[in-house]
Amino acid sequence: MTNQQGPATTSMASVGIAARPGSLRRFAREPLVIICLSYLALVVAAAALASVLTSQDPLATSLADSLAPPSSTHPLGGDGVGRDVWAQLLYGARTSLIGTLIVVVVSHLIGLPSGIIAGYYRGWFDSLGSWLSGLLMALPGIIVLIVAITQFGRSTELAMTVFGVLISPAVFRLARASSMAVRSELFIDAAQVAGLKDLRIMARHILPVVIRPIVIQASQLAGVGLVVQAGLGFLGFGSANQASWGGMLSDAFQNVYSAPQLLITPSAAIILTITAFGLLGNGISDALSVGTATPSPQSVARRKAKTAPKPASSTTGTREDNGLLLEVEDLRVAYAGSDGVVREVVHGIDLTVSRGEVLGLVGESGSGKSQTAFAILGLLPSSAQYTMRTLTFDGADLLVQNEADINRLRGLKIGYIPQEPMSNLDPAFTIGSQLTEPMRHHLTLSRTAARAEALRLLSRVGIVDPERVFALYPHQISGGMAQRVLIAGAVSCNPDLLIADEPTTALDVTVQAEVLDLIRDLQAERNLGVILVTHDLGVVADVCDRVAVMKDGQILETATAEKLFTAPTSEYTRRLLAATLEDAPMRKERS
């Protein structure tokens, strides 16, 4: 089994996801955004219809019309060599917009995917990408542009393509930083546990969050591209056969004393367009924020009428055999400290889990319980160094399987219930979307069948109104309900093994009991093997068949739950029982 790229240490606060009452409605309610959009639409229309709006050739010179005043023939007059200012303005808009588009597209085609990949995987690709971006940023951009134009000829398209490459590090760095922030979130780990491929995770769960700051930056780059394109035209490095706003400015400066009014038209066009780009980017960013309005009763009723939940045969049925399901031998996990010394945090763990058995992995915080669970799932961070002599699941040796094979196991054969339910749900997607995605991926169910099965599972885990919860976003449900949703997701693909990492943490006592009852019922229904990671001996007494007690990365003893509570062999276990249970009788009742 190979190491997985682990989470970073940044916070979701840096991502800046916020709820919005509806993207289009919010967009329409911003007058300034509407004004900017209308202006840019007008500029685009004028550029596209330039040949319709004027019959003049923007490059045709006439000494007789030099500095001509406005007239019916020349609505804005003539420039220093008799070219029609109105025609230049229209065709110059076409040149400026195309150049700006080239800059934005090229920079984002290079910077956005590479930044997301670097932030997601880190490692050598991140190091190489950061080095190349630093190299490009160190180059003197205007000199590189002039050299390229001198070498390959005066071409606005070529110059803007080169500039797009030079400015792509800005996109790369922003996409990388945003991806790293999202990559550290638990809902990304949950998506991995669900067995989703990395490409799908990046496209579905990281890109929607990254896109918001990218949109703001894209609008700024559009303005920068317009300035650079105008600057090249002003210096005479633009295409000789194209009108441009920069070229208009150059001619106006040459005639500033005799015809100062020639400065007004190109200057106003450049300033207004750059301002419109900037303000529109902010407006689109706000509109792209996650819309999370509560669905109306009418919309819920319509959905109920369209699709009634039906049991899906792909996830039903129980198993009768109780053979060995998971075997782990000599698991060791180590990390390198800041001093370079490698220290083991898990020392030679041996575990077995059979079908229909609940194994409790109990110990104080920092004892290595979660590290053991993540090692079995293959989700330890890239900084972890871990080895195992044996890791078999349902008779298959996972140590010789490649990452693609292991990824297919996660979610399909191995389910995972995390300890922080709200952090493991992606705030950018509805509950229904997150439940149906693994089923459609692993079980190849249709959208309708996956939706029906998700509704059935929500009902099975005790959610009263599955239709309503299906359409909600994570922030609109309680922690207990979120935990039920994650349990539904963990069993949605009918796994053989369920790993529950502190599933009752941060829940109130009543909800804890309900969640434990639910896990126990699902385990009995589906004959699941369960690893229950917990520090709560009350939970162990209530749910587990066997218990492994951990301390300082080692298993001190493994015994049946009854034997552990009545005759523990380890002194640490006795102290743990004395400190937590205070000689209370076992609450465990089994048929």
pLDDT higher than 80, residue 495: yes
pLDDT tens-digit readout, 138-197: 888 888 888 888 888 788 888 889 999 999 999 999 999 888 888 877 677 777 766 778
pLDDT band at 104 (very low <50, low <70, confident <90, very high): very high
- Say if CB 424 and CB 418 are below 8 A apart: yes
Structure confidence at residue 579 (pLDDT): 74
287 versus 270: the higher-pLDDT residue is 270
Q: Say yes or no: 368 and 240 in one domain.
A: no
pLDDT higher than 80, residue 21: no
63 versus 579: the higher-pLDDT residue is 63
Structure confidence at residue 513 (pLDDT): 78
* DSSP letter assigned to residue 84: B
Q: Say yes or no: 284 and 416 in one domain.
A: no
Answer yes or no: is 30 within a domain: no
Residue 392, strand partner residues? 327, 397
Q: What's 362's domain CATH number?
A: 3.40.50.300
pLDDT tens-digit readout, 187-242: 777 777 667 788 888 888 888 878 878 888 888 899 898 998 888 888 888 777 88
Take residue 47 and report the two structure tokens written for it: 């550029």
pLDDT band at 566 (very low <50, low <70, confident <90, very high): confident
Structure confidence at residue 302 (pLDDT): 39
Q: Say yes or no: 187 and 278 in one domain.
A: yes
pLDDT band at 286 (very low <50, low <70, confident <90, very high): low
Structure confidence at residue 506 (pLDDT): 60
Q: Say yes or no: 57 and 203 in one domain.
A: yes
Structure confidence at residue 353 (pLDDT): 92
Mean pLDDT across the chain, nearest whole number? Answer: 80
Range scoring the smallest mean pLDDT among 186-190, 423-427, 482-486, 517-521: 186-190
Structure confidence at residue 29 (pLDDT): 65
Q: What's 54's domain CATH number?
A: 1.10.3720.10
What number is the average pLDDT over the span 562-568? 88
Q: Say yes or no: 279 and 367 in one domain.
A: no
- Say if CB 116 and CB 202 are below 8 A apart: yes
Answer yes or no: is 41 within a domain: yes
- Say if CB 115 and CB 173 are below 8 A apart: yes
- Using alpha carbons, list the distances in angstroms from residue 177 to 15, 170, 390: 10, 11, 38
Q: Say yes or no: 224 and 121 in one domain.
A: yes
**C-beta pairs of 564-568 under 8 Å, 24+ apart in sequence:** 564/540, 565/541
Q: How far apart are the C-alpha atoms of 219 and 104, rounded to whole Å?
A: 8
What range does the domain containing 424 cover? Answer: 352-378+400-580
Structure confidence at residue 285 (pLDDT): 63
Residue finishing a domain among 238, 258, 288: 288
Structure confidence at residue 288 (pLDDT): 54
Q: How far apart are the C-alpha atoms of 13 and 182, rounded to whole Å?
A: 10
What number is the average pLDDT over the span 334-346? 85
| Residue 98 CB burial class (10 angstroms; 0-12, 13-18, ≥19) | middle
Nearest of 501, 203, 562 to residue 371 by alpha carbon? 501
Residue 374: phi, psi to the nearest 5? -70, -35
49 versus 11: the higher-pLDDT residue is 49
Q: Say yes or no: 180 and 272 in one domain.
A: yes
Answer yes or no: is 383 within a domain: no
Q: Say yes or no: 48 and 128 in one domain.
A: yes
Residue finishing a domain among 267, 288, 309: 288
Q: How far apart are the C-alpha atoms of 235 and 228, rounded to whole Å?
A: 10
**What contacts 147, CB < 8 A, 6 or more positions away?**
none
Q: Say yes or no: 449 and 563 in one domain.
A: yes
pLDDT higher than 70, residue 2: no
**What contacts 190, CB < 8 A, 6 or more positions away?**
416, 418, 424, 425, 486, 489
Residue finishing a domain among 236, 261, 288: 288
- Torsion on CA atoms 556, 558, 561, 565, rounded to nearest 10: -40
Nearest of 285, 277, 315 to residue 445 by alpha carbon? 315
Take residue 546 and report the two structure tokens written for it: 């066997």
Q: How far apart are the C-alpha atoms of 3 and 412, rounded to whole Å?
A: 20
- Using alpha carbons, list the distances in angstroms from residue 384 to 117, 160, 361: 20, 44, 21
What number is the average pLDDT over the span 338-348? 85
pLDDT higher than 90, residue 42: yes
Structure confidence at residue 409 (pLDDT): 79
Q: Say yes or no: 48 and 148 in one domain.
A: yes
Nearest of 512, 511, 494, 519 to residue 359 by alpha carbon? 519
**C-beta pairs of 254-261 under 8 Å, 24+ apart in sequence:** 254/80, 255/67, 255/79, 255/80, 258/67, 259/67, 259/77, 259/79, 259/80, 261/77
User: Residues of the chain with pLDDT > 70: what percent?
Assistant: 85
What number is the average pLDDT over the span 251-275? 90
Answer yes or no: is 586 within a domain: no
Q: How far apart are the C-alpha atoms of 76 and 261, rounded to whole Å?
A: 10
pLDDT higher than 80, residue 587: no
Answer yes or no: is 530 within a domain: yes
Q: How far apart are the C-alpha atoms of 529 and 526, rounded to whole Å?
A: 9
pLDDT higher than 50, residue 291: no
Structure confidence at residue 270 (pLDDT): 93
CA 563 to chain centre: 46
pLDDT tens-digit readout, 74-96: 889 888 888 999 999 999 999 98
User: Residues of the chain with pLDDT > 90: what percent?
Assistant: 20
- Say if CB 486 and CB 418 are below 8 A apart: yes
Q: How many domains does the chain have?
A: 2
* DSSP letter assigned to residue 313: G
pLDDT tens-digit readout, 430-454: 899 888 988 888 888 898 999 999 9
43 versus 20: the higher-pLDDT residue is 43
Which residue do the tokens 């490692």 mark? 123
Q: Say yes or no: 132 and 253 in one domain.
A: yes
Answer yes or no: is 504 within a domain: yes
Answer yes or no: is 153 within a domain: yes
Answer yes or no: is 310 within a domain: no
pLDDT higher than 70, residue 307: no
Q: Say yes or no: 420 and 281 in one domain.
A: no
pLDDT higher than 60, residue 468: yes
